[in-house]
Amino acid sequence: MREDGLADDLVQRIAECVETSADMRAYVLAMPLAVLTSPLAALRRLYEALDARVLTVLPGDAFYPQRISLWPQLRVPQSIPLARLRDDLTAALPLYPWVVQESIDMPLPFALRPHTKIKLRTCVTPAQLGRLENLHNLCALDLLLVHTSDRVSLVELFRHLPAVHCVSVLWRQKPTTAVVADALEAIATSASVQNLVWTMSLTAGKWDEACRELLAAFLSSSPLTSVSLRGLNAGPMAATTATAVVANASIARLELHDARVISTLFQLAPSVPSHWTSLRLHGVAADDLPRIASAVTASRIRHLSIALKPGNIIVDEDERHGSAILAMLSSLPCLQSLDLSSMLLPSVEVIAAVLPQLVQLGLSENDLHDDGVVVLARALPLCRRLRSLRLRRQGCSDAGAVALASTLSKAPSLRTLDVSGNCIGSKGGALLAAEIPQLLDVDLSNNQIGYEGALALSRMVPKTTHMENINLEGNPLYVDGVLAIVEGVARSPYRVGSVQLSRTLANPSHIQECLNRIGELPDPAWCIFLDT
Protein backbone atom coordinates (compact mmCIF):
# COMPACT_ATOMS: atom_id res chain seq x y z
CA MET A 1 0.00 0.00 0.00
CA ARG A 2 1.34 3.42 -0.96
CA GLU A 3 1.58 6.32 1.50
CA ASP A 4 -1.27 8.03 -0.35
CA GLY A 5 -3.52 5.06 0.43
CA LEU A 6 -3.69 3.73 -3.13
CA ALA A 7 -2.78 0.08 -3.74
CA ASP A 8 0.02 -0.29 -6.29
CA ASP A 9 -2.23 -1.86 -8.90
CA LEU A 10 -5.60 -0.32 -8.00
CA VAL A 11 -5.20 2.63 -10.37
CA GLN A 12 -4.30 0.25 -13.19
CA ARG A 13 -7.17 -2.12 -12.45
CA ILE A 14 -9.59 0.78 -12.65
CA ALA A 15 -7.99 1.89 -15.92
CA GLU A 16 -8.44 -1.55 -17.45
CA CYS A 17 -12.22 -1.14 -17.01
CA VAL A 18 -12.31 2.13 -18.99
CA GLU A 19 -14.28 1.63 -22.22
CA THR A 20 -13.26 4.45 -24.56
CA SER A 21 -10.06 6.10 -25.70
CA ALA A 22 -11.33 9.56 -24.76
CA ASP A 23 -12.07 8.41 -21.20
CA MET A 24 -8.70 6.66 -20.92
CA ARG A 25 -6.90 9.78 -22.12
CA ALA A 26 -8.73 11.90 -19.55
CA TYR A 27 -7.98 9.33 -16.83
CA VAL A 28 -4.22 9.03 -17.34
CA LEU A 29 -3.76 12.79 -17.85
CA ALA A 30 -5.75 13.63 -14.71
CA MET A 31 -3.97 11.19 -12.39
CA PRO A 32 -0.82 12.35 -10.57
CA LEU A 33 2.17 10.78 -12.26
CA ALA A 34 3.31 9.32 -8.94
CA VAL A 35 0.29 7.00 -8.69
CA LEU A 36 0.51 5.65 -12.24
CA THR A 37 2.00 2.22 -12.79
CA SER A 38 4.78 1.93 -15.35
CA PRO A 39 2.36 0.79 -18.13
CA LEU A 40 -0.05 3.65 -17.39
CA ALA A 41 2.77 6.20 -17.28
CA ALA A 42 3.91 4.94 -20.69
CA LEU A 43 0.36 5.21 -22.02
CA ARG A 44 0.17 8.77 -20.71
CA ARG A 45 3.35 9.66 -22.61
CA LEU A 46 1.88 8.11 -25.76
CA TYR A 47 -1.29 10.22 -25.43
CA GLU A 48 0.88 13.31 -24.94
CA ALA A 49 2.85 12.38 -28.06
CA LEU A 50 -0.40 11.89 -29.96
CA ASP A 51 -1.71 15.29 -28.82
CA ALA A 52 1.58 16.93 -29.80
CA ARG A 53 1.44 15.22 -33.21
CA VAL A 54 4.74 13.51 -32.52
CA LEU A 55 3.01 10.13 -32.89
CA THR A 56 1.28 10.27 -36.29
CA VAL A 57 0.46 8.18 -39.35
CA LEU A 58 2.39 9.51 -42.32
CA PRO A 59 1.15 9.23 -45.93
CA GLY A 60 2.76 6.18 -47.50
CA ASP A 61 2.66 4.15 -44.29
CA ALA A 62 0.86 0.81 -44.68
CA PHE A 63 -1.44 1.92 -41.85
CA TYR A 64 -2.47 5.19 -43.59
CA PRO A 65 -5.16 6.66 -43.55
CA GLN A 66 -6.34 4.86 -40.42
CA ARG A 67 -6.25 6.75 -37.15
CA ILE A 68 -3.97 5.68 -34.34
CA SER A 69 -5.82 4.00 -31.49
CA LEU A 70 -4.29 3.72 -28.04
CA TRP A 71 -7.37 2.28 -26.34
CA PRO A 72 -9.16 -0.13 -25.98
CA GLN A 73 -7.18 -1.70 -28.83
CA LEU A 74 -3.67 -0.75 -29.82
CA ARG A 75 -3.40 0.24 -33.49
CA VAL A 76 -0.28 2.13 -34.52
CA PRO A 77 1.55 2.78 -37.82
CA GLN A 78 4.22 0.52 -39.24
CA SER A 79 6.82 3.27 -39.01
CA ILE A 80 7.64 4.77 -35.60
CA PRO A 81 10.99 6.53 -35.98
CA LEU A 82 11.43 7.66 -32.36
CA ALA A 83 12.95 4.98 -30.13
CA ARG A 84 11.35 6.46 -27.01
CA LEU A 85 7.88 5.97 -28.51
CA ARG A 86 8.68 2.36 -29.39
CA ASP A 87 9.90 1.84 -25.82
CA ASP A 88 6.70 3.38 -24.43
CA LEU A 89 4.58 1.06 -26.58
CA THR A 90 6.46 -1.93 -25.19
CA ALA A 91 6.10 -0.61 -21.64
CA ALA A 92 2.33 -0.16 -22.08
CA LEU A 93 1.69 -3.69 -23.37
CA PRO A 94 0.60 -5.20 -19.99
CA LEU A 95 -2.58 -3.09 -20.31
CA TYR A 96 -3.75 -4.99 -23.41
CA PRO A 97 -5.05 -8.57 -23.59
CA TRP A 98 -3.53 -8.86 -27.11
CA VAL A 99 -2.07 -6.90 -30.02
CA VAL A 100 -2.75 -7.36 -33.74
CA GLN A 101 -0.07 -8.25 -36.28
CA GLU A 102 -1.37 -7.91 -39.84
CA SER A 103 0.89 -10.55 -41.41
CA ILE A 104 4.15 -12.42 -41.04
CA ASP A 105 5.75 -9.92 -43.44
CA MET A 106 4.58 -6.88 -41.43
CA PRO A 107 6.28 -7.22 -38.03
CA LEU A 108 5.13 -5.07 -35.16
CA PRO A 109 7.08 -1.79 -34.87
CA PHE A 110 7.86 -2.33 -31.18
CA ALA A 111 9.36 -5.08 -29.06
CA LEU A 112 7.01 -7.55 -27.40
CA ARG A 113 7.04 -8.43 -23.74
CA PRO A 114 7.35 -12.12 -22.79
CA HIS A 115 3.65 -12.61 -22.06
CA THR A 116 2.11 -10.35 -24.73
CA LYS A 117 -0.52 -12.18 -26.79
CA ILE A 118 -0.64 -11.77 -30.59
CA LYS A 119 -3.53 -11.96 -33.06
CA LEU A 120 -2.11 -12.80 -36.50
CA ARG A 121 -4.40 -11.57 -39.27
CA THR A 122 -2.97 -13.23 -42.40
CA CYS A 123 -1.07 -16.47 -42.91
CA VAL A 124 -1.25 -18.46 -46.18
CA THR A 125 0.85 -21.58 -45.59
CA PRO A 126 2.03 -23.64 -42.63
CA ALA A 127 5.63 -22.84 -43.59
CA GLN A 128 4.89 -19.11 -43.35
CA LEU A 129 3.40 -19.61 -39.89
CA GLY A 130 6.55 -21.44 -38.88
CA ARG A 131 8.58 -18.28 -39.56
CA LEU A 132 6.71 -16.28 -36.91
CA GLU A 133 8.81 -15.33 -33.96
CA ASN A 134 7.28 -15.87 -30.52
CA LEU A 135 4.90 -18.63 -31.62
CA HIS A 136 4.08 -19.22 -27.97
CA ASN A 137 2.57 -15.70 -27.82
CA LEU A 138 -0.01 -16.39 -30.54
CA CYS A 139 -3.62 -16.33 -29.26
CA ALA A 140 -5.60 -15.96 -32.51
CA LEU A 141 -4.79 -16.94 -36.07
CA ASP A 142 -6.31 -16.29 -39.51
CA LEU A 143 -5.24 -18.96 -42.02
CA LEU A 144 -5.85 -18.18 -45.71
CA LEU A 145 -4.77 -21.58 -46.94
CA VAL A 146 -3.68 -22.27 -50.53
CA HIS A 147 -2.08 -25.28 -52.17
CA THR A 148 1.63 -25.42 -51.48
CA SER A 149 4.50 -27.80 -52.07
CA ASP A 150 5.94 -27.37 -48.59
CA ARG A 151 5.64 -30.32 -46.26
CA VAL A 152 5.23 -28.40 -43.02
CA SER A 153 2.37 -29.83 -40.96
CA LEU A 154 -0.09 -27.66 -39.06
CA VAL A 155 -0.36 -30.46 -36.50
CA GLU A 156 3.33 -30.07 -35.68
CA LEU A 157 3.09 -26.27 -35.57
CA PHE A 158 0.04 -26.25 -33.29
CA ARG A 159 2.01 -28.17 -30.69
CA HIS A 160 4.02 -24.96 -30.29
CA LEU A 161 0.90 -22.76 -30.00
CA PRO A 162 -0.26 -23.31 -26.42
CA ALA A 163 -2.19 -20.02 -26.21
CA VAL A 164 -4.21 -20.10 -29.47
CA HIS A 165 -7.93 -19.98 -28.66
CA CYS A 166 -9.36 -18.65 -31.94
CA VAL A 167 -8.67 -19.99 -35.44
CA SER A 168 -10.11 -18.73 -38.72
CA VAL A 169 -9.60 -20.91 -41.80
CA LEU A 170 -10.33 -19.64 -45.33
CA TRP A 171 -9.99 -22.05 -48.25
CA ARG A 172 -9.46 -20.33 -51.60
CA GLN A 173 -9.09 -23.59 -53.55
CA LYS A 174 -10.63 -27.05 -53.38
CA PRO A 175 -8.85 -28.72 -50.47
CA THR A 176 -7.42 -32.21 -50.63
CA THR A 177 -8.26 -34.78 -47.99
CA ALA A 178 -4.71 -34.61 -46.64
CA VAL A 179 -4.81 -30.83 -46.22
CA VAL A 180 -8.24 -30.91 -44.54
CA ALA A 181 -7.12 -33.72 -42.26
CA ASP A 182 -4.01 -31.78 -41.28
CA ALA A 183 -5.98 -28.61 -40.47
CA LEU A 184 -8.73 -30.40 -38.55
CA GLU A 185 -6.33 -32.59 -36.60
CA ALA A 186 -4.26 -29.55 -35.68
CA ILE A 187 -7.31 -27.73 -34.32
CA ALA A 188 -8.85 -30.83 -32.72
CA THR A 189 -5.70 -31.82 -30.86
CA SER A 190 -5.11 -28.30 -29.55
CA ALA A 191 -6.02 -27.98 -25.91
CA SER A 192 -6.78 -24.28 -26.23
CA VAL A 193 -8.83 -23.67 -29.43
CA GLN A 194 -12.42 -22.72 -28.56
CA ASN A 195 -13.47 -20.46 -31.46
CA LEU A 196 -13.55 -21.57 -35.10
CA VAL A 197 -14.35 -19.61 -38.27
CA TRP A 198 -14.43 -21.92 -41.32
CA THR A 199 -14.94 -20.34 -44.76
CA MET A 200 -14.95 -21.92 -48.21
CA SER A 201 -14.61 -19.50 -51.14
CA LEU A 202 -16.65 -20.02 -54.31
CA THR A 203 -13.62 -21.50 -56.07
CA ALA A 204 -13.15 -24.21 -53.46
CA GLY A 205 -15.61 -26.56 -55.16
CA LYS A 206 -17.19 -29.70 -53.72
CA TRP A 207 -15.59 -31.77 -51.03
CA ASP A 208 -14.98 -35.46 -51.42
CA GLU A 209 -16.55 -37.93 -49.01
CA ALA A 210 -13.42 -38.32 -46.90
CA CYS A 211 -13.24 -34.56 -46.32
CA ARG A 212 -16.91 -34.44 -45.37
CA GLU A 213 -16.47 -37.23 -42.85
CA LEU A 214 -13.47 -35.50 -41.30
CA LEU A 215 -15.32 -32.21 -40.88
CA ALA A 216 -18.46 -33.92 -39.55
CA ALA A 217 -16.52 -35.83 -36.91
CA PHE A 218 -14.69 -32.70 -35.89
CA LEU A 219 -17.75 -30.41 -35.68
CA SER A 220 -19.86 -32.92 -33.78
CA SER A 221 -17.35 -33.72 -31.04
CA SER A 222 -14.82 -30.91 -30.61
CA PRO A 223 -15.22 -28.78 -27.45
CA LEU A 224 -15.81 -25.55 -29.37
CA THR A 225 -17.77 -22.67 -27.84
CA SER A 226 -18.00 -20.45 -30.95
CA VAL A 227 -18.42 -21.61 -34.56
CA SER A 228 -18.87 -19.64 -37.80
CA LEU A 229 -19.35 -21.57 -41.06
CA ARG A 230 -19.58 -20.33 -44.65
CA GLY A 231 -19.46 -21.90 -48.11
CA LEU A 232 -20.71 -25.37 -47.16
CA ASN A 233 -23.87 -25.35 -49.32
CA ALA A 234 -22.62 -27.66 -52.07
CA GLY A 235 -24.12 -31.14 -52.46
CA PRO A 236 -24.43 -33.31 -49.33
CA MET A 237 -22.10 -30.99 -47.41
CA ALA A 238 -25.04 -28.93 -46.13
CA ALA A 239 -26.74 -31.90 -44.47
CA THR A 240 -23.44 -33.16 -43.08
CA THR A 241 -22.67 -29.78 -41.55
CA ALA A 242 -26.12 -29.24 -40.04
CA THR A 243 -26.20 -32.71 -38.49
CA ALA A 244 -22.77 -32.23 -36.93
CA VAL A 245 -23.59 -28.81 -35.48
CA VAL A 246 -26.80 -30.06 -33.87
CA ALA A 247 -24.88 -32.96 -32.32
CA ASN A 248 -22.26 -30.73 -30.70
CA ALA A 249 -23.01 -30.19 -27.01
CA SER A 250 -20.59 -27.33 -26.29
CA ILE A 251 -21.33 -24.67 -28.93
CA ALA A 252 -22.71 -21.48 -27.38
CA ARG A 253 -22.28 -19.03 -30.29
CA LEU A 254 -23.26 -20.16 -33.79
CA GLU A 255 -23.00 -18.22 -37.06
CA LEU A 256 -24.13 -19.73 -40.38
CA HIS A 257 -23.97 -18.19 -43.86
CA ASP A 258 -25.50 -20.90 -46.07
CA ALA A 259 -29.23 -21.23 -46.78
CA ARG A 260 -29.17 -25.02 -47.19
CA VAL A 261 -27.28 -25.55 -43.96
CA ILE A 262 -29.69 -23.27 -42.10
CA SER A 263 -32.78 -24.92 -43.58
CA THR A 264 -31.54 -28.42 -42.77
CA LEU A 265 -30.46 -27.45 -39.26
CA PHE A 266 -33.91 -26.18 -38.29
CA GLN A 267 -35.52 -29.29 -39.71
CA LEU A 268 -33.28 -31.31 -37.38
CA ALA A 269 -33.70 -28.99 -34.37
CA PRO A 270 -37.34 -28.03 -33.75
CA SER A 271 -36.13 -26.04 -30.73
CA VAL A 272 -32.70 -24.50 -30.25
CA PRO A 273 -30.45 -26.24 -27.71
CA SER A 274 -30.32 -24.62 -24.29
CA HIS A 275 -26.56 -24.04 -24.58
CA TRP A 276 -26.96 -21.73 -27.59
CA THR A 277 -26.75 -18.11 -26.48
CA SER A 278 -25.91 -16.40 -29.79
CA LEU A 279 -27.41 -17.22 -33.19
CA ARG A 280 -26.44 -15.35 -36.36
CA LEU A 281 -28.02 -16.52 -39.63
CA HIS A 282 -27.11 -14.98 -43.00
CA GLY A 283 -28.66 -15.74 -46.39
CA VAL A 284 -31.82 -17.25 -44.88
CA ALA A 285 -34.57 -18.39 -47.27
CA ALA A 286 -37.84 -16.58 -46.49
CA ASP A 287 -39.76 -19.85 -46.27
CA ASP A 288 -37.55 -20.94 -43.37
CA LEU A 289 -38.46 -17.96 -41.15
CA PRO A 290 -41.54 -19.58 -39.53
CA ARG A 291 -39.52 -22.69 -38.65
CA ILE A 292 -36.69 -20.57 -37.23
CA ALA A 293 -39.14 -18.47 -35.23
CA SER A 294 -40.74 -21.59 -33.77
CA ALA A 295 -37.36 -23.06 -32.79
CA VAL A 296 -36.10 -19.88 -31.14
CA THR A 297 -39.33 -19.10 -29.25
CA ALA A 298 -38.90 -19.13 -25.44
CA SER A 299 -35.17 -19.86 -25.74
CA ARG A 300 -32.28 -18.33 -23.77
CA ILE A 301 -30.82 -16.61 -26.84
CA ARG A 302 -29.05 -13.34 -26.00
CA HIS A 303 -27.85 -12.33 -29.46
CA LEU A 304 -30.01 -12.91 -32.53
CA SER A 305 -29.21 -11.87 -36.10
CA ILE A 306 -31.26 -12.91 -39.15
CA ALA A 307 -30.55 -11.69 -42.68
CA LEU A 308 -32.68 -12.92 -45.56
CA LYS A 309 -31.21 -14.35 -48.73
CA PRO A 310 -31.33 -11.77 -51.54
CA GLY A 311 -33.98 -12.59 -54.12
CA ASN A 312 -37.45 -11.91 -55.43
CA ILE A 313 -39.86 -12.26 -52.52
CA ILE A 314 -43.58 -11.64 -52.79
CA VAL A 315 -44.46 -8.77 -50.45
CA ASP A 316 -47.46 -10.48 -48.86
CA GLU A 317 -45.44 -13.62 -48.09
CA ASP A 318 -42.54 -11.59 -46.78
CA GLU A 319 -44.82 -9.74 -44.35
CA ARG A 320 -46.26 -13.06 -43.18
CA HIS A 321 -42.79 -14.47 -42.54
CA GLY A 322 -41.73 -11.24 -40.82
CA SER A 323 -44.77 -11.53 -38.56
CA ALA A 324 -43.53 -14.93 -37.38
CA ILE A 325 -40.21 -13.41 -36.31
CA LEU A 326 -41.92 -10.49 -34.57
CA ALA A 327 -44.27 -12.79 -32.66
CA MET A 328 -41.25 -14.64 -31.28
CA LEU A 329 -39.46 -11.59 -29.85
CA SER A 330 -41.60 -11.09 -26.76
CA SER A 331 -40.79 -14.66 -25.64
CA LEU A 332 -37.03 -14.02 -25.36
CA PRO A 333 -36.34 -12.70 -21.84
CA CYS A 334 -32.53 -12.84 -22.25
CA LEU A 335 -32.37 -11.03 -25.60
CA GLN A 336 -29.78 -8.22 -25.60
CA SER A 337 -28.84 -7.83 -29.26
CA LEU A 338 -31.15 -8.00 -32.29
CA ASP A 339 -30.32 -7.62 -36.00
CA LEU A 340 -32.91 -8.12 -38.74
CA SER A 341 -31.97 -7.49 -42.38
CA SER A 342 -33.80 -7.53 -45.71
CA MET A 343 -37.18 -8.54 -44.33
CA LEU A 344 -40.43 -6.60 -44.13
CA LEU A 345 -41.65 -5.93 -40.59
CA PRO A 346 -45.41 -5.39 -40.60
CA SER A 347 -45.49 -4.11 -37.01
CA VAL A 348 -42.50 -2.13 -35.78
CA GLU A 349 -44.38 -1.57 -32.50
CA VAL A 350 -43.32 -5.09 -31.46
CA ILE A 351 -39.66 -4.11 -31.79
CA ALA A 352 -40.32 -0.85 -29.95
CA ALA A 353 -41.79 -2.91 -27.09
CA VAL A 354 -38.62 -5.01 -26.66
CA LEU A 355 -36.22 -2.11 -27.32
CA PRO A 356 -35.86 -1.18 -23.61
CA GLN A 357 -34.29 -4.58 -22.86
CA LEU A 358 -31.77 -4.37 -25.72
CA VAL A 359 -28.16 -3.23 -25.70
CA GLN A 360 -27.96 -3.26 -29.50
CA LEU A 361 -30.57 -2.99 -32.28
CA GLY A 362 -29.68 -3.25 -35.96
CA LEU A 363 -32.33 -3.01 -38.68
CA SER A 364 -31.43 -2.92 -42.37
CA GLU A 365 -33.67 -2.77 -45.45
CA ASN A 366 -36.95 -3.29 -43.60
CA ASP A 367 -38.93 -0.50 -45.32
CA LEU A 368 -39.62 1.25 -42.02
CA HIS A 369 -39.83 4.69 -43.66
CA ASP A 370 -40.46 7.69 -41.43
CA ASP A 371 -43.46 6.19 -39.64
CA GLY A 372 -41.46 3.21 -38.39
CA VAL A 373 -38.47 5.31 -37.35
CA VAL A 374 -40.79 7.65 -35.43
CA VAL A 375 -42.21 4.68 -33.50
CA LEU A 376 -38.72 3.55 -32.49
CA ALA A 377 -37.67 7.10 -31.61
CA ARG A 378 -40.58 7.40 -29.20
CA ALA A 379 -39.32 4.31 -27.35
CA LEU A 380 -35.80 5.70 -26.80
CA PRO A 381 -36.63 7.50 -23.51
CA LEU A 382 -37.36 4.04 -22.03
CA CYS A 383 -34.01 2.62 -23.13
CA ARG A 384 -31.49 2.81 -20.30
CA ARG A 385 -29.20 0.07 -21.69
CA LEU A 386 -29.21 0.70 -25.44
CA ARG A 387 -25.68 1.41 -26.70
CA SER A 388 -26.04 0.92 -30.46
CA LEU A 389 -28.90 1.83 -32.82
CA ARG A 390 -28.53 1.05 -36.52
CA LEU A 391 -31.35 1.90 -38.94
CA ARG A 392 -29.78 1.40 -42.37
CA ARG A 393 -31.50 1.83 -45.74
CA GLN A 394 -34.99 2.33 -44.32
CA GLY A 395 -36.27 5.06 -46.67
CA CYS A 396 -36.14 7.51 -43.77
CA SER A 397 -36.24 11.24 -44.60
CA ASP A 398 -35.92 14.42 -42.55
CA ALA A 399 -39.11 13.57 -40.63
CA GLY A 400 -37.53 10.42 -39.18
CA ALA A 401 -34.29 12.26 -38.44
CA VAL A 402 -36.22 14.98 -36.60
CA ALA A 403 -37.88 12.33 -34.42
CA LEU A 404 -34.54 10.71 -33.61
CA ALA A 405 -32.87 14.03 -32.84
CA SER A 406 -35.59 14.87 -30.33
CA THR A 407 -35.07 11.71 -28.25
CA LEU A 408 -31.42 10.63 -28.67
CA SER A 409 -30.36 12.51 -25.55
CA LYS A 410 -32.95 10.59 -23.52
CA ALA A 411 -31.16 7.28 -24.14
CA PRO A 412 -28.23 7.82 -21.73
CA SER A 413 -26.16 4.78 -22.75
CA LEU A 414 -26.36 5.30 -26.51
CA ARG A 415 -22.93 5.49 -28.13
CA THR A 416 -23.46 4.40 -31.77
CA LEU A 417 -25.99 5.72 -34.30
CA ASP A 418 -26.09 4.45 -37.89
CA VAL A 419 -28.69 5.91 -40.27
CA SER A 420 -26.68 5.34 -43.45
CA GLY A 421 -28.29 4.82 -46.83
CA ASN A 422 -31.44 6.81 -46.10
CA CYS A 423 -32.90 10.02 -47.57
CA ILE A 424 -31.97 12.46 -44.80
CA GLY A 425 -31.40 15.99 -46.07
CA SER A 426 -29.80 19.10 -44.64
CA LYS A 427 -32.64 19.79 -42.20
CA GLY A 428 -32.43 16.36 -40.62
CA GLY A 429 -28.64 16.40 -40.75
CA ALA A 430 -28.50 19.75 -38.96
CA LEU A 431 -30.77 18.54 -36.15
CA LEU A 432 -28.81 15.32 -35.73
CA ALA A 433 -25.58 17.34 -35.71
CA ALA A 434 -26.67 19.04 -32.50
CA GLU A 435 -27.00 15.65 -30.79
CA ILE A 436 -23.94 13.77 -32.02
CA PRO A 437 -21.41 15.10 -29.47
CA GLN A 438 -22.90 12.72 -26.88
CA LEU A 439 -22.03 9.74 -29.12
CA LEU A 440 -18.83 7.93 -30.09
CA ASP A 441 -19.69 6.67 -33.57
CA VAL A 442 -22.14 8.23 -36.04
CA ASP A 443 -22.77 7.04 -39.60
CA LEU A 444 -24.69 9.48 -41.81
CA SER A 445 -23.18 8.20 -45.05
CA ASN A 446 -25.06 7.94 -48.34
CA ASN A 447 -27.84 10.35 -47.45
CA GLN A 448 -28.80 13.68 -49.06
CA ILE A 449 -27.15 16.09 -46.64
CA GLY A 450 -26.10 19.21 -48.55
CA TYR A 451 -24.28 22.47 -47.89
CA GLU A 452 -26.58 23.75 -45.11
CA GLY A 453 -26.28 20.45 -43.27
CA ALA A 454 -22.51 20.55 -43.71
CA LEU A 455 -22.39 24.02 -42.13
CA ALA A 456 -24.36 22.78 -39.11
CA LEU A 457 -22.03 19.81 -38.79
CA SER A 458 -18.95 22.04 -39.08
CA ARG A 459 -20.08 24.05 -36.06
CA MET A 460 -20.40 20.87 -33.97
CA VAL A 461 -17.18 19.17 -35.09
CA PRO A 462 -14.91 20.95 -32.54
CA LYS A 463 -17.11 19.43 -29.80
CA THR A 464 -16.55 15.89 -31.10
CA THR A 465 -12.85 15.40 -30.34
CA HIS A 466 -13.70 12.29 -28.29
CA MET A 467 -15.59 10.59 -31.12
CA GLU A 468 -14.13 7.56 -32.86
CA ASN A 469 -15.93 8.04 -36.17
CA ILE A 470 -18.16 10.52 -38.02
CA ASN A 471 -19.05 9.15 -41.44
CA LEU A 472 -20.39 11.62 -44.01
CA GLU A 473 -19.29 9.68 -47.08
CA GLY A 474 -21.49 9.86 -50.16
CA ASN A 475 -23.41 13.03 -49.21
CA PRO A 476 -23.60 15.98 -51.67
CA LEU A 477 -21.80 18.38 -49.32
CA TYR A 478 -20.39 20.62 -52.09
CA VAL A 479 -16.89 22.01 -51.92
CA ASP A 480 -17.76 24.81 -49.50
CA GLY A 481 -19.47 22.31 -47.21
CA VAL A 482 -16.46 19.98 -47.17
CA LEU A 483 -14.09 22.89 -46.54
CA ALA A 484 -16.30 24.15 -43.70
CA ILE A 485 -16.14 20.73 -42.02
CA VAL A 486 -12.37 20.58 -42.49
CA GLU A 487 -12.08 24.02 -40.87
CA GLY A 488 -14.16 22.72 -37.96
CA VAL A 489 -11.80 19.77 -37.64
CA ALA A 490 -8.84 22.17 -37.71
CA ARG A 491 -10.20 23.90 -34.61
CA SER A 492 -9.94 20.65 -32.63
CA PRO A 493 -7.10 20.55 -30.07
CA TYR A 494 -6.84 16.80 -30.69
CA ARG A 495 -9.04 14.04 -32.13
CA VAL A 496 -9.52 10.43 -31.13
CA GLY A 497 -10.99 9.43 -34.50
CA SER A 498 -11.64 10.63 -38.03
CA VAL A 499 -14.29 12.39 -40.10
CA GLN A 500 -15.02 10.43 -43.29
CA LEU A 501 -15.59 12.76 -46.26
CA SER A 502 -14.97 10.47 -49.24
CA ARG A 503 -17.25 10.54 -52.31
CA THR A 504 -18.76 13.91 -51.44
CA LEU A 505 -17.40 15.74 -54.50
CA ALA A 506 -17.11 15.01 -58.22
CA ASN A 507 -15.21 18.01 -59.59
CA PRO A 508 -11.46 17.19 -59.75
CA SER A 509 -10.38 20.76 -58.97
CA HIS A 510 -12.68 20.87 -55.93
CA ILE A 511 -11.32 17.51 -54.78
CA GLN A 512 -7.75 18.79 -55.03
CA GLU A 513 -8.64 21.98 -53.17
CA CYS A 514 -10.01 19.93 -50.27
CA LEU A 515 -7.04 17.55 -50.31
CA ASN A 516 -4.69 20.53 -50.08
CA ARG A 517 -6.54 21.91 -47.05
CA ILE A 518 -6.66 18.52 -45.34
CA GLY A 519 -2.91 18.23 -45.89
CA GLU A 520 -2.47 21.39 -43.82
CA LEU A 521 -4.24 19.93 -40.76
CA PRO A 522 -2.13 19.20 -37.66
CA ASP A 523 -2.84 15.55 -38.49
CA PRO A 524 -4.20 14.88 -42.02
CA ALA A 525 -5.61 11.56 -40.80
CA TRP A 526 -8.26 13.55 -38.90
CA CYS A 527 -10.15 13.61 -42.22
CA ILE A 528 -10.44 10.66 -44.61
CA PHE A 529 -10.93 11.87 -48.18
CA LEU A 530 -10.28 9.12 -50.73
CA ASP A 531 -11.96 10.54 -53.83
CA THR A 532 -8.87 10.38 -56.01
Please give the pLDDT value at position 1: 45
Query: Has residue 184 been placed in a domain?
Result: no
186: nearest Cα among 207, 161, 206: 161
Residues near 294 by beta carbon (within 8 Å), at least 6 away in sequence: 270, 271, 324, 328
92 is a domain residue = yes
The pLDDT score that the predictor gives to residue 317 is 55
392-417 b/e (C-beta count within 10 Å ≥ 16 → b): bbbbbbbbbbbbbbbbbeebeebbbb
| Per-residue model confidence (pLDDT) at position 520 | 93
Q: Within 355-438, where are the H helices?
A: 369-379, 398-407, 426-433
Partners of residue 69 on adjacent β-strands = 75
**Which residue blocks in 368-477 are alpha helix, DSSP H?**
369-379, 398-407, 426-433, 451-460
Q: In which band, very low, low, confident or very high, does the pLDDT at 4 lie, cut at 50, 70 and 90?
A: low
328-362 pLDDT, tens digit per residue, is: 999 999 999 999 999 989 889 999 999 999 999 99
Number of domains in the chain: 1
Per the domain annotation, does 530 fall within a domain?
no
Q: Tell me the C-alpha distance between 228 and 281, whole Å.
A: 10
pLDDT at position 7 is 66
The helix/strand/coil state of 82 is coil
Q: Give me the half-sphere count of Cα atoms (radius 13 Å) on the Cβ side of residue 153.
A: 10
Tell whether 311 is covered by a domain.
Answer: no
Residue 298 lies in a domain: no
Residue 13 covered by a domain: yes
Q: 128 phi and psi, to 5 degrees?
A: -65, -40
For 512, the 3-state DSSP assignment is helix
Kind and range of the H or E element at 158? helix 154-158
Per-residue pLDDT at 234 exceeds 80: no
C-alpha distance across the termini of the chain, in Å: 58
For residue 79, the 8-state DSSP code is -
Please tell me the distance from the alpha carbon of residue 165 to that of residue 196, in angstroms, as a whole number. 9
Q: What phi, psi does 324 have (nearest 5°)?
A: -65, -40
Give residue 278's pLDDT band: very low, low, confident or very high (50, 70, 90): very high
DSSP-derived 3-state class of residue 299: coil
| CA 187 to mean position of chain CA atoms | 25
Residue 222 lies in a domain: no
The parent domain of residue 27 ranges over 1-96
Specify the pTM.
0.91
- Decide if 302 is inside a domain: no
| Percent of the chain topping pLDDT 90 | 67
Q: What is the pLDDT of residues 393-435, one digit of tens each?
A: 999 999 999 999 999 999 999 999 999 999 999 999 999 999 9
The secondary structure element, H or E, covering residue 198 is strand 195-200
Tens of pLDDT along 40-64?
A: 999 999 999 998 889 988 778 887 7
